[in-house]
Amino acid sequence: MGLERNHKKKLKVFERKVLRKIFGPTKERDATWRIKTNDELDELIRHKNIINHKSTTIKLVWPFTSNAGRENGK
């Protein structure tokens, strides 16, 4: 069960928005400021985006949490 393409796109847009707040703007040599590009953000997080992380986490956690809360046949 994967995320639809539209949901993945929205999630990546949100992630970049948060990353821009965390890492802040870039100061150029002429003392002007600009926002970081998507490529710069991708390099800062070493190409590990939330989509890849979320998929890996779900695969690792899902089998262990499928019976969570079920005790004594409840």
In a domain, 69, yes or no: no
- The domain total for the chain is 1
21-41 tens-digit pLDDT: 999 999 999 999 999 999 999
Distance CA 26, CA 1 (A): 38
- Is residue 68 one of the residues assigned to a domain? no
- 71 within a domain of the structure (yes/no): no
**Cβ contact 44:18 at 8 Å:** no
Give buried/exposed letters for 52-71 (b at 16+ CB in 10 A, else e): eeeeeeeeeeeeeeeeeeee
Q: Is residue 26 part of a domain?
A: yes
Of residues 56 and 15, more confidently modeled: 15
69 pLDDT more than 70: no
44 and 22 Cβ atoms separated by less than 8 Å: no
User: What is the structure's pLDDT at 5?
Assistant: 81
Please tell me which residue, 11 or 52, carries the higher pLDDT value: 11
Q: Can you tell me the mean pLDDT for 8-24?
A: 90
Residue 70 lies in a domain: no
Which pLDDT value is given to residue 46? 83
Domain-located, residue 19: yes
- Number of residues in the chain: 74
Question: Is residue 57 assigned to a domain?
Answer: yes
Task: Based on DSSP, count helices (H) and strands (E) in the chain, helices before strands.
Answer: 3, 2
Q: Containing domain of residue 15, as a range?
A: 5-61
